Structure 1
Amino acid sequence: MTEPAETSVSFPRLQARSLRFTLGLPRAITVAADGERVYFLRTPDGETRTGALWVLNTQTGVEQCLVDPDVLLGDGGETLSETERARRERSRETAAGIVGYSMDDAAEVAAFALSGSVWVCRTASGATTALDTPSSVIDPRVDPTGRHVAYVVDGALRIVGVDGTLDYPLVEPDGPEVSWGLAEFAAAEEMDRHRGFWWAPDGQSLLVARVDDTPVSTWWLADPANPAQEPTPHRYPAAGTPNADVTLWRIGLDGSRTEIVWDRGTYEYLARVSWTEHGDPLVQVLSRDQREAAVLAVEYDSGETTLVRAQHDDVWLDLAHGAPAYAPGGRLVTVEDVEDTKRLLLDGSPVSPDDLQVRSVVSIDADSILVTGSVEPTEVHLWRIGIGGDCVQVSDAPGTWEAARGGGVEVRVHSGAETTLPTYAVHRDGTEVARLATRMLDPGFVPEVRFLDAGDDAVRTAVLFPRGHQHGDVARLPIVMNPYGGPHAQRVLRSARRFLEAQWIADQGFCVVVADGRGTPGRGRAWDRALRDDFAGVTLDDQVTALDAVVDKYGSDVDPSRVGIMGWSYGGYLSALAVLRRPDVFHAAVAGAPVTDWRLYDTCYTERYLGHPDEQPEVYDANSLLDGLDDLDDVPPLMLVHGTVDDNVVVAHTLRLSSALLAAGLGHAVLPLTGVTHMTPQEVVAENLAMLEVDFLRTALERRRDER
């Protein structure tokens, strides 16, 4: 079900209030090993940000709230440490309350952080206790046997019994910039590894990452609106500069310590760690240029490693969700590019179909591996691949699918094109037995999306007109391109909820175009590697291709002499790039948090696509927005928007571009967002920003019409 929205509240405010209509939806789903219970987080409605821990009985279909943070905290409310705020920024987490939890293998104990403390819930009774531990804890995780909880505080990894006894530091920082048990910036921001420690199956030891940020450059983040406030130091590994020194250690509960040994000169990045009962611990390590990786088995006592799978790509290697890992019986599961298809491999042999682009490994059991994958890139389906190699698509309706699995039970999450409300169906042996309730806010409309394949490369493109638009019967509409457009991110999927904001923009009197060009996932190795060394050329060309296709198909409805473009992050880069490089095509732009000089962005992301700046300075120059400005006589209307305390794409990007534009005599506007990071979840800021962006484009494109 959905909750009706207040009709007097604007869509941008509702979108911000509901965290893009994600509040009230189940998340972090765990199926107990016996299949009898499904645990998940959900806020009480579509506007409240406080997540609670819930359980569904799969036999009766009855839900129960196990832990309500408002009851636990009372009037005291929630407080977060700066470290926890930074961790949530890396994971793009904007909710509150319980935002993550861990469970033992039997799902009898759940541990979570709340307002800086470690809490433990006995799931059978719902009894929940705050443990007497130091404050400002990060990432508490219960061991698989349900006896201990490990957590991080002030850079130390500590252990406490689930009953609150024997709390002690297992390992403490041995330097001012050292932390144990946390993911470093590059791992959390670019490798999708947000953890820094992993329990042994028997709960007697852990693998723990030691991160030394000493080599990493210190940047200073200041809030210009508060000059009395001291700038905050921020260790940022910019392209071409040193990364954090990351090592991995096996640490016993008795304090024994053994370093895990690999060739760190060759393999600088610790990418993945897996430790299950099915074999030795596995680590995947990655070279700095990301062309070589090694999957290593760890010898428990000595810490020595043995190569079990070497991986190579001439351009770069992709990391997979849920792999590498051992299947029951000790077979190695990996996801790798085989020719032009991302395949599931068992012990190095492909077992998934050669036309299925595998996106992630959901779960592995004795008989099968559940994965997500695409044959058509605008859809993501669930596939069950047998250990013997048989492959069955288990999702049916068009759209996007996710899942969680355990004990013969699957929770299948579907988002389709006909409704903005996703479904959470619980299946046992292929039959639906229950559904998780949804309490999201009703946005009040369903986007009307038209899909087309643009150009010879069939660039997947979504087109939205104002709802109720009568084709050919009204004045031609200005066009607004609304891309992300960068590598490893996808927007054109057959899921209505993904186009809510685009439809609102279209309803303001535009034809909105969203296009996924080369570099976006789900279309094979050649497609996404096409932008190597050439962000500026490839991604911009594909936006032009999509625009041309829309004009060709809907020529009587759209006005190609009035084209705007707007985007955030890489989409902001692409938007500014469009009016600087192709003012003949793009006539106004709003660039939010744009990367303007790739030398100012981080190592792991930037070097993957553009190489090392010391080795390829000309590549960085060619892809910089600061390059070639002196050759321009004029620039179409351009508004740069940036949060002043963004620690990912720092505000220096916009300031440097603005300074270079001014030096070249090129007019533009700058909108600083005081106290805002790379995310803008604040209701008032988000609402007014959306209104200002649309008004800027409308005014610029109307002026262009009037001047013709």
Structure 2
Amino acid sequence: MTAVDDSSGLSRTASASSEATSDHSASAQAASETSAFPRQFALTQRFSLGVPRRFGVSPDGRRVLFTRTGGGSDPVSRLWLYEDGAERVIVDPASLGGEPDSEGRLPEAERARRERAREHATGVVAYATDAAARVVAFALSGALWAVRTDGGAPFPVPAAGPAVDPRPSPDGRYVAYVTGGALHIVGLEDGKDRQLAAPEGPDVAYGLPEYVASESMGRTRGYWWAPDSRRILVARVDTSHVARRYISDPAHPEQAPRAVPYPSAGTANADVSLHIVPVDGSEAPRVEVGGDRDAYEYLVSAAWDGHGPLVGVQSRDQRTLRTLAVDEATGATEVLHERTDAAWVEIVPGTPARTASGALVLPEDTAGTRHLRVGGSTVTPPGLQVREVVAVVGEEVWFTASEEPTTTHVWRWGPEDGLRRLSGQPGVFTAVVGGGTVVLTGLTPDGPVTDVHKRGQDARSGSIASLGEDPVVTPRPVHLVLGERELRGALYLPSWYDRDAGGKLPVLLCPYGGPSIQVAIQAREWFVCVAQWFAEEGFAVLLADGRGTPGRGPAWEKTVHGDQLTPVLEDQVDALHAAAARFPCLDLTRVAIRGWSFGGFLSAAAVLHRPDVFHAAVAGAAPTDQRLYDTHWKERYLGHPQEAPDHYTRSSLVGSGHLLRRPLLLVQGLSDDNVAPAHTLRFSAELLAAGKRHSVLPLPGAGHSVGDPAVRENLLRFERDFLLEALGKV
């Protein structure tokens, strides 16, 4: 037997043979690729650059719009058109003069929008079209632009100020946009600009979502055109009663901090109202949409279809969600449907919606299944977990759902041909639909795919290429079902490891563990690639999804109601022990855990509460005090802190610092307005007061996700070195 030392300091065991020279060459190449991974991971922005995104399909099905950067290391996003089987760029920011938009030149509202979307590319990162997808509007560094898909160069559109979220009217005559908290429209033919709704004070804005809407509800918009282009449904947001957080960059003390209206759990939310505003000043005056805002203070969704405005509102305790029809002339509302739940009503993206005939499209929860209902009838079987409604075309409904938690597929239901699954191979898929064209896009175990299908054709009619880079480290997951709760997991072992002849490997868990995100999936997501890189560095890496994660039905999700720590941590321990029982190479005397956000919270909790199992942890952006997190997200799971204070105490790390006896690295972006630096700084102070050694790595200028490529690259290496050193002392 021969041992080859790698950069991590661990021994790799290989079998001696007559091909030793060849083996050594292959090993050297593998080591080189492993060493190159962190830089590739950073420069490709977690392998997102060059991958087509944000698809839109024209109603006639002929044109497909999408954004994509020029390659795997090119951060500038362009707008592309796919038509007649060919792709072409219709907006290249470099051709419009000046530099592509950058962080320093963005309007504050656009910067906040991108932070909520975790968007780090520049250029055309968002766009909107008229009803026919003939006119496209977009903004670059606050400048308003438009382009026509039937030919011609992009052209500037005069605006009253830096433009945010521009959207053409359905008839293509106007572009609406927000500037300075006011909603404007500008005519594309005459260039005349009109202000439709102006803020009444410094804490009021029209046409933009409030913080919890975009961060925690998934509502990223604040206004919606009427189909006839004569009126706009617009949200008015008043944050005067919302507490402020002041986010600064300590590395630049000369810069003033920015104030963020942030409603932490138990505090006042923004006052959000809806108004119907005429486009033509000679029309009827603006009207306010009615409804009991005191009882239903959350505006979850809004749309305007052929039947009028359709709104979803939710109570503060999130146990009731109402679907309202709005009279466009008077603003009066009618309750069309009401969903209730003893824990919380889960928001399903794309719902409520209506078919052409007016049938309501809604989710329906039973204990074990999240169904789809159309017009009062349940159209999906038990065990098929509905994830999102992606399109309603005529009487047909297109949605994503999971038969098995590790995969998500696209389905179509219609009154004539019933239920049919559209995507085939394993992966996580979604779709965009227009006319007879369906764009199926998703991630498979081999990477991103985008196929174009025409109605009535069994095979795809074309595909849209990904220009992204393949990772230099190839993921090699072993998918597992673990323990009595059948936890879904994936184990990553080093490609060079000989399970028959090799010794035991230290174990690294890389969970998220919280709501809305799964990690043990059959798709080549960025965190899967990171897991394999850590494996190549000498770890056996385990990813596991426990209670509270999506894809296994309402009852599974709601087992964490009132306690977001005990069952979640217990599942990671159970997954680890079940995996070790099947794979003796896992060394349970050397177990580390790392994670970010909820995963960071879970990682720190692991070494605090289960030091018998976990021997070191890296906790990034960890919400250590659940009372500091926002209202909609945290009260959903733990209730109101004044009504259930024990839920917050049980689910927080503060107050448990004296328990630390294992190495812990806390990582925190100092410009994070989601998990504020106060979480890490206060907990570090508690640890220090208790005499507990720990490490803190501050990241100046970083938000909730790390955008700087150099920081992202070296953070991976720093985590690796910290964990190897800590486990080496066990």
TM range (shorter): over 0.9
Q: 1:500 corresponds to which residue? A: 529
Q: Secondary structure at the match of 1:112?
A: strand
Query: 2:214 matched to 1:188?
Result: yes
Q: 2:89 corresponds to which residue? A: 65
Deviations 1:124-165 (CA, angstroms, capped at 9, x unpaired):
013311111133211000111111111000100000012352
Query: 2:204 matched to 1:175?
Result: no
Q: Secondary structure at the match of 2:710?
A: helix
Cα distance in structure 1, aligned partners of 2:468 and 2:136: 25
Cα distance in structure 2, aligned partners of 1:672 and 1:171: 42
Deviations 1:430-487 (CA, angstroms, capped at 9, x unpaired):
3311111210012123200001111111110110011132103112100000001111
Q: Secondary structure at the match of 1:309?
A: strand
Q: 2:638 corresponds to which residue? A: 610
Q: Secondary structure at the match of 1:468?
A: coil
Cα distance in structure 1, aligned partners of 2:434 and 2:99: 37
Query: 2:541 matched to 1:517?
Result: no
Q: 1:110 corresponds to which residue? A: 136
Q: 1:544 corresponds to which residue? A: 573
Q: After the TM superposition, which residues 593-604 of structure 1 pair with which residues of structure 2 at under 5 Å, given as runs? A: 593-604=621-632
Structure 1 residue 364 displacement after superposition: 1.0
Q: 1:625 corresponds to which residue? A: 653
CA contact (8 A) 2:368 2:383 kept: no
Cα distance in structure 1, aligned partners of 2:333 and 2:226: 17
Q: Secondary structure at the match of 2:547?
A: coil
Q: Secondary structure at the match of 1:11?
A: helix
Q: 1:311 corresponds to which residue? A: 339
Amino acid at match of 1:204: R
Q: 2:430 corresponds to which residue? A: 402
Query: 2:402 matched to 1:381?
Result: no
Cα distance in structure 2, aligned partners of 1:332 and 1:88: 32
CA contact (8 A) 1:402 1:414 kept: yes
Deviations 1:337-362 (CA, angstroms, capped at 9, x unpaired):
13421111112321122221111111
Deviations 1:532-556 (CA, angstroms, capped at 9, x unpaired):
111110110010011011111101x
Q: Secondary structure at the match of 2:154?
A: strand
Query: 2:707 matched to 1:681?
Result: yes
Q: 2:9 corresponds to which residue? A: none
Cα distance in structure 2, aligned partners of 1:424 and 1:321: 23
Q: 1:81 corresponds to which residue? A: 107
Q: 1:92 corresponds to which residue? A: 118
Partner of residue 160 from structure 2, selected from 123, 131, 134: 134
Deviations 1:240-278 (CA, angstroms, capped at 9, x unpaired):
00000000000001342100001111111000111112x
Query: 2:189 matched to 1:163?
Result: yes
Structure 1 residue 510 displacement after superposition: 0.1
Cα distance in structure 2, aligned partners of 1:116 and 1:216: 27
Q: 2:475 corresponds to which residue? A: 447
Q: Secondary structure at the match of 2:461?
A: strand
CA contact (8 A) 1:131 1:164 kept: no
Amino acid at match of 2:368: D
Cα distance in structure 2, aligned partners of 1:696 and 1:422: 36
- Deviation beyond 4 Å, 4+ runs, structure 1: 6-9, 75-78
Structure 1 residue 8 displacement after superposition: 10
CA change 1:208–1:102 in 2 (3 A) is same
Partner of residue 393 from structure 2, selected from 365, 370, 373: 365
Query: 2:484 matched to 1:456?
Result: yes
Q: 2:29 corresponds to which residue? A: none
Structure 1 residue 416 displacement after superposition: 2.0
CA contact (8 A) 1:384 1:391 kept: yes
Structure 1 residue 118 displacement after superposition: 1.1
Decide which moves more: 341-350 or 683-692: 341-350
Deviations 1:466-513 (CA, angstroms, capped at 9, x unpaired):
113210311210000000111121111111344111111111100011
Deviations 1:581-603 (CA, angstroms, capped at 9, x unpaired):
10000000000000000011100
Amino acid at match of 1:56: Y
Query: 2:43 matched to 1:20?
Result: no
CA contact (8 A) 2:400 2:408 kept: yes
Gaps of 5+ in 1: 1-5
Amino acid at match of 2:231: S
CA contact (8 A) 1:426 1:434 kept: yes
Q: 2:277 corresponds to which residue? A: 251
CA contact (8 A) 2:33 2:473 kept: no
CA contact (8 A) 2:264 2:629 kept: yes
Query: 2:258 matched to 1:232?
Result: yes
CA contact (8 A) 1:352 1:389 kept: no
Cα distance in structure 2, aligned partners of 1:289 and 1:586: 36
Structure 1 residue 18 displacement after superposition: 1.0
Q: After the TM superposition, which residues 22-41 of structure 1 pair with which residues of structure 2 at under 5 Å, given as runs? A: 22-41=48-67
Identical counterparts, % of pairs: 45
Amino acid at match of 2:64: V
Structure 1 residue 324 displacement after superposition: 0.6
Deviations 1:202-238 (CA, angstroms, capped at 9, x unpaired):
0110100000000100121122222333222221100
CA contact (8 A) 2:473 2:533 kept: no
Amino acid at match of 1:453: V
Amino acid at match of 1:420: G
CA contact (8 A) 2:100 2:122 kept: no
CA change 1:240–1:164 in 2 (3 A) is farther
Deviations 1:188-212 (CA, angstroms, capped at 9, x unpaired):
0000001000000001101000000
Q: Secondary structure at the match of 1:320?
A: coil
Q: After the TM superposition, which residues 535-574 of structure 1 pair with which residues of structure 2 at under 5 Å, given as runs? A: 535-555=564-584, 557-574=585-602
CA contact (8 A) 2:34 2:473 kept: no
Q: 1:269 corresponds to which residue? A: 298
CA change 1:41–1:672 in 2 (3 A) is same
Structure 1 residue 613 displacement after superposition: 0.7
Cα distance in structure 2, aligned partners of 1:427 and 1:539: 44
Q: 2:68 corresponds to which residue? A: 42
Q: Secondary structure at the match of 2:577?
A: helix
Structure 1 residue 398 displacement after superposition: 1.7
CA contact (8 A) 2:265 2:628 kept: yes
Amino acid at match of 1:588: A
Q: 2:693 corresponds to which residue? A: 667
Q: CA RMSD in A?
A: 1.5
Deviations 1:273-323 (CA, angstroms, capped at 9, x unpaired):
11112x121100000110001100001111000010011011101111111
Q: 2:16 corresponds to which residue? A: none
Deviations 1:640-675 (CA, angstroms, capped at 9, x unpaired):
000111111000000111011111111101111111
CA contact (8 A) 1:421 1:497 kept: no
Cα distance in structure 2, aligned partners of 1:355 and 1:272: 27
Cα distance in structure 2, aligned partners of 1:619 and 1:192: 25
Q: 1:698 corresponds to which residue? A: 724
Partner of residue 382 from structure 2, selected from 351, 354, 371: 354
Cα distance in structure 2, aligned partners of 1:497 and 1:216: 36
Cα distance in structure 1, aligned partners of 2:264 and 2:300: 19
Amino acid at match of 1:259: E
CA change 1:90–1:75 in 2 (3 A) is closer
Q: 2:361 corresponds to which residue? A: 333
Q: After the TM superposition, which residues 199-214 of structure 1 pair with which residues of structure 2 at under 5 Å, given as runs? A: 199-214=225-240
CA change 1:75–1:312 in 2 (3 A) is closer
TM-score if structure 2 supplies the norm length?
0.93
Deviations 1:51-89 (CA, angstroms, capped at 9, x unpaired):
1111111x3x11111111110134576531222111110
Cα distance in structure 2, aligned partners of 1:64 and 1:208: 34
Structure 1 residue 623 displacement after superposition: 1.4
CA contact (8 A) 1:260 1:304 kept: yes
Count of residues in Structure 1 that have an aligned counterpart in Structure 2:
692
Q: 1:3 corresponds to which residue? A: none
CA change 1:240–1:532 in 2 (3 A) is same
Structure 1 residue 50 displacement after superposition: 1.1
Q: 1:147 corresponds to which residue? A: 173
Query: 2:83 matched to 1:54?
Result: no
